[in-house]
Amino acid sequence: MQWIQKEFNQLTARELYTLLRERVNVFVVEQNCPYPEIDDYDQDSTHLYLEDDGEVAAYCRLLPHDTIYHEASIGRILVKNKFRKQGYAKELMKKALRIMIEDWGESEIKLHAQSHLQNFYGQYGFKTITDEYLDDGILHVDMILQTKKK
- pLDDT tens readout for residues 13-70: 999 999 999 999 988 888 887 777 888 899 999 999 999 998 999 999 999 999 999 9
Nearest 5°: phi and psi at 122?
-60, -30
Q: Where does 2-146 sit in CATH, by number?
A: 3.40.630.30
Q: Where are the domains of the chain?
A: 2-146
Which residues in 7-45 are b (16+ Cβ under 10 Å) and which e?
A: eeeebeeebeebbeebbeebbeeeeeeeeeeeeeebeeb
State if pTM tops 0.85. yes
pLDDT digits (tens, 9 = 90+) for 71-120: 999 999 999 999 999 999 999 999 999 999 999 999 999 999 999 999 99
CA atoms 137, 141, 80, 9: torsion sign: positive
Q: Name the phi and psi angles at 145, rounded to 5.
A: -115, 120
> How much is the pLDDT for 27?
87
